Structure 1
Amino acid sequence: MSSTRFSWANLAIALSLCLGSITYGYDFSIISTTIGQANWYAYFGLTSDATRASLYKYSNQIIGTVFGIFSAGAIFGALFVGWLCDRYGRRPALMVAAIINIIGGALQCGSVHIGMFIAARFITGFSGSMFVTLVPIYIAEVAPPATRGLLVGQHGAFFLIGYTLAAWVGVGSFFSPNAAFNWRFPLSLQVVWPLLQLCFVKWLPESPRWLVSHGRKEEAWDILARLHHDPKDPAQGFAQREFAQITQQIALDQSTYGDVGYLDLFTRPHFRKRTLIGALVMWASQANGAIVIYSNIVTLVAGLGFNATQSLLLSAGWITLACVGNFTNAYFLDRLGRVRSMMIGMSGCVAFTIVEAAVVANYGGSSNKAALAAGVAMLFGFIVFYGGFVDTTIYVYGSEIFPTHIRAKGMGWCLSIFFLSTLPFLESSATGFATIGWKYYLLFIILPSINVVLIKLFCPETKGLSLEEINGVFNDKVAMQLTHIDGEDTMTTSIPGLDGSSGTDVREKNDANIQVV
């Protein structure tokens, strides 16, 4: 069987779940074009005119709060969904996230006071992070090992579709003569994607790994058999082997560790290593300046001397390129590997940030067209490396490194660190660029340079292994090998029966990788 093929059921589930990814991407990115709309400033009594010093300072503080409050809500949402989807399942958690997100989007669109707008941003941040935490877990738990990077990578790629949609909707709304339409219509579209998610969620199967962990083996087997159905293999050999691996590994983990809470992520050595590595990866992904550029791309381009229309168009093009980069990242991730991809991407970002800082320092706001064009080119070069190597990888890696019984809590922790890491940068970015200018970029040269070294030293590679086999990378016991079988040319695997009996034996060829079609 081909090592790169997967079932249409796997792909359909991944793409359906990615409506949640679009929801998060749109929720986060729409504020970038909103703060580029003069009518939004006027409605809430703010200004982008630096000559009005006191009001300008206040406006920058409000903008920092609008950015930061989304991340603050996201921290709590990530931790909440880690508990929720372990307790009630992946599907119910997805429905709760969609409902909360609809409420937050509607409140933003209808805001009549800046305080109401800020509160609504907190709600959408809370629910958006539920999606960004849950979707990669969900996809990882239904994806075959050989193409897990590609399928989980669609999460990162599709929330860039959300970014791209937000950017172009913002551009289109800018030209409307209706002052309220300029900024309220783009915000209103936040409710569309979670509504679509609610329409699809009834069709989605529950995670078979979650079902096994809650004693519902019959349901888990039915789902695995459908997901890995191969008409050329009536015995469903791969599905049986995966089912055996999942049931044996979960039984081993539960007997070894028992019930696991958030505190166990820090108090048990094997979990603590994963927890710290996950935190490092998420921190590193934000400490290279990507979140600041994403959020301020319109104003950064404007600061290089371009007018409002040019700035909106260039920023939309920039985000579109990021979207293409994320799909490319997902496509090559199972070949390139997780760790190597992150190292290449972050190193490339540092190189382009160095040049960008030099351009802004010497030519920012000048009339030197060649220099200004170079400044924009550096921003585009930055996103080629970030989108092409990092942005998708971090979600794949975070969803892989934790065993099933703590995966949701572990991923929730990782994403809470992700959003916590954004807070100091988002809160300080508007003021930082306004006060120290190009020197603010030095943060995103020094920090990622250090992080690349740390990732090389401490992050193990996970590509090609099943989720259960990744336990071995962290020195935990692996109950059964599936993708890397050692020993004789053939092996006999005992498939436990659903009723707890010893089941049947499956004799198979000892291939380096067992794949699914």
Structure 2
Amino acid sequence: MSAHTIQGESTRRQVDRRLFTIRSIATLGGLLFGYDTGVISGALPFLKNPVSEGGLALGSFEESVVTTALTVGAAVGALAGGRLSDRYGRKKNIMTVAVIFLVGALGCALAPSYWILVAFRFILGLAVGGASATVPVYLSEISPVEIRGTMVSRNELMIVTGQLVAYVSNAVIATAWPGAHAWRWMLVLATLPAIGLWIGIHLLPESPRWLAGKDRAQEMWKVLNEVRMPDAVEDEGRDILRRVDEERAAGKGTWADLRVPWIRRITLIGIGLAFLSQLTGVNGIMYYAPTILISTGLGTQPSIVATIANGVVSVISVYIGIVFFLKRFPRRRMIITGQTGCVASLIALGLVFLLPESTARSYLVLLFMLTFLFFMQCFIGVTFWLMLSEIFPMRVRGLANGVAVFSNWVGNVIVAFAFPNLIELIQGNAFFVFALINLGSLAFYVRFLPETKGHSLEELERIFEKRYS
């Protein structure tokens, strides 16, 4: 083996290790996102207890407000976070998000009353929204084109891993220490990855594309030399700088740029994708799985333990989606396949609720919830965050992505607030309602969703500009 080949392999290993470190640290934001959205499912049964028993005496309405407070905060955090990441940088925004995660988690765990819990859930939501708007964009902008799909989708794997960790820790606490304040221990665990994210993000570079857009070309070249093979640095760096000049000549990266026809069109498609992915009802199932199973006649502790299956299937499904399907199939086909499976699973769930109440029915409900989660997480979950990080032009990427993720969280708010009330009012018929909504979403994807696989971010901009102008 020649010295040149050995040196090339050594450089490849260094680049791979650097990208692995970047991905591992940045996706702690996804882990926190998942934990903080999943942990409430196990905390709610204890929060319903009277104050004398350590709970906060929540009814169905208060339960939905506590859950929805995080999603409202996330909508605000996404909108603000996208804009702030354009102005101050992806890295600095993630650093700020880590601090808010820590403050929000501590506030929730120590909350002495219902309204203080709601307030800190909102603050925690600001961090969740900021992370959801910034981390995928950061990973997309720093990744080589050939691994961008798997690199960005690892954030989704960390989201569902965070939810699984929440379900497992909830079950352990509910079973081993089912005391008056079990819910506080569930909520406080989120402080640990928040501290890890804050420390780790100091070790990471800024996005090279953001640096180029801020006339910091020397720093951009330095980052590219860290995360690219030497023979790829020159071409990519020059293409980034060329696109920055083209973008600068066309606009300044403000709200006014959304009036440009092709930017407006692709932004509306992104908003549709983000909003409709929530109307699948996935977070209704993730947030309220124990509540759904309890409504079928299953006990509280068995329902919390059974919810672990949701987390396990989500993690396995995302992993399968990343390592098998995402590498082989176009993004658009992934979304359409997942949406079709979600519709079929929701119809099956509605039909199972028509059966007489029994333990068998409870586990059939769990089975079809898992089928739904497989299609959602394996095909849609690994793809829609990735597409949102790819489709927007550089000069409004943070802004447009923030608007799209804001709409995603608005959909989450609707589902989080409506789901427990629908289950209480119409039981399993709620799943037929979501099946109809998802049929409409499927039609939207078939008609409007573009393909992004196999193109650099700069190439995609030129393709969309030509197609939608």
The two structures have a TM-score, normalised by structure 2, of 0.93
2:354 corresponds in structure 1 to: 361
Which structure dedicates a bigger proportion of its chain to helix?
A: 2
* Partner deviation per Cα, 1:43-80 (whole Å, 9 max, x = no partner): 34426xxxxxxxxxxx1110111121111111110111
Aligned partner of 1:252 in structure 2 is: 246
Identify the residue that residue 55 of structure 1 maps to in structure 2.
none
Shift of 1:92: 1.0
Cα distance change on mapping 1:386 and 1:64 into 2, 3 Å: same
Q: Could you say which residue in structure 2 is the equivalent of 1:28?
A: 37
Specify the code of the residue in structure 1 equivalent to 2:343: V
Partners of 1:397 and 1:19 lie apart in 2 by: 20
In structure 1, the partner of 2:209 is 209
Q: Does 1:150 align with 2:154?
A: no
1:46 to 57, 63, 87: 57
CA contact (8 A) 1:175 1:182 kept: no
Cα distance in 2 between the residues matched to 1:41 and 1:276: 46
Q: Within 1, Cα distance between the matches of 2:176 and 2:346?
A: 35
Cα distance, 1:334 vs structure 2:
3.3
Instruction: Decide whether the 8 Å contact of 1:82 with 1:409 is kept in 2.
Output: yes
Larger Rg: 1
- 2:338–2:376: 8 Å Cα contact kept in structure 1? yes
CA deviation vs aligned residue, 1:316-369 (integer Å, no higher than 9, x gap):
111121011112222232321211111111110111111110111233xx12x4
Counterpart-to-counterpart distance in 1, 2:266 and 2:16: 30
What are the residue-to-residue correspondences of 1:327-406 with 2, within 5 Å? 327-331=319-323, 332-363=325-356, 366-367=357-358, 369-406=359-396
Question: Within 2, Cα distance between the matches of 1:62 and 1:371?
Answer: 28
Residues 1:468 and 2:461 are matched in the alignment: no
Q: Which among 418, 425, 433 is matched to residue 443 of structure 1?
A: 433
Is the counterpart of residue 301 in structure 1 residue 288 in structure 2?
no
Aligned pair in 2 of structure 1 residues 179, 263: CA closer, same or farther (>3 Å)?
A: farther
In 2, Cα distance between the equivalents of 1:320 and 1:139? 25
Offset at 1:449? 0.9
CA pair 41-189 structure 1, distance change in 2 beyond 3 A:
farther
Shift of 1:177: 4.2
Separation (CA, whole Å) in 1 of partners of 2:297 and 2:444: 38
Matched, 1:459 2:449: yes
Give the aligned partner of residue 85 of structure 2.
Answer: 85
Cα contact 1:329–1:390 (8 A) shared by 2: no
3-state SS, counterpart of residue 260 of structure 1: coil
Letter in 2 for 1:12: T
- How far 1:392 moved relative to its partner? 2.0
Q: Deviations over 1:290-327 (max 9, x none)?
A: 11111111111222222222211111111121011112
1:165 aligns with 165
Of 146-155 and 10-19, deviating more is 10-19
Question: In structure 2, what is the Cα distance between the partners aligned to 1:342 and 1:222?
Answer: 36
Q: Give the paired residue count.
A: 454
CA distance in 1, matches of 2:273, 2:421: 27
Following superposition of structure 1 onto structure 2, how do residues 101-250 of structure 1 map, counting pairs within 5 Å? 101-177=101-177, 179-229=179-229, 236-250=230-244
TM-fit CA distance, 1:8 = 2.7
Structure 1: unaligned runs, 5 residues or longer: 48-58, 230-235, 478-517
Contact 1:346 1:452 in 2 (8 A): yes
* Matched-pair contact (CA < 8 Å) for 2:47–2:56: no
1:478-517 equivalence runs, <5 A: none
1:177 and 1:271 map into 2 onto residues whose CA distance is 53
Structure-2 separation of matches of 1:427 and 1:26: 19
Matched, 1:434 2:434: no
Q: Report the residue type matching 1:244 in the other structure.
A: R
The aligned residue for residue 71 of structure 1 is 71
Q: Give the partner amino acid of 1:185.
A: W
Distance (whole Å) between structure 2 residues aligned to residue 312 and residue 69 of structure 1: 22
Equivalent-residue separation in structure 1 for 2:255 and 2:180 (angstroms): 45
Gaps of 5+ in 2: 1-7
Aligned counterpart, 2:23: 14
What letter is aligned with 2:254?
G
Question: How far is the alpha carbon of 1:463 from its aligned partner?
Answer: 0.5
Are 1:136 and 1:152, in contact at CA under 8 Å, matched by a contact in 2? yes
CA distance in 1 between counterparts of 2:160 and 2:346 reads 21
SS for the counterpart of 1:463 is coil
- In the TM superposition, 1:312-327 aligns within 5 A as 312-327=304-319
| Distance across 2 between alignment mates of 1:71 and 1:339 | 27
The residue aligned with 2:400 is 410
- CA shift, 1:116, in A, is 0.3
**1:99 pairs with 2:110:** no
Q: Please, what is the CA RMSD of the aligned residues?
A: 1.9
Q: Name the CA shift for 1:465/1:41 in 2 (closer, same or farther; >3 Å).
A: farther
Structure 1 residues 89-129: Cα deviation after superposition (integer angstroms, max 9, x where no partner): 11111111111111111110100000000000000001111
| AA aligned opposite 2:434 | F
Q: In structure 1, the residue corresponding to 2:307 is in which secondary structure? A: helix
Match of 1:481 in 2: none
Q: 1:262 aligns with which of 255, 260, 265?
A: 255
Residue 271, structure 1, aligned to residue 263, structure 2:
yes
- Cα deviations by residue, 1:177-198 (Å, 9 ceiling, x for unpaired): 4624411111111111111001
- Alignment CA distance shift 1:375-1:459 (3 Å): same
Q: Secondary structure at the match of 1:36?
A: helix
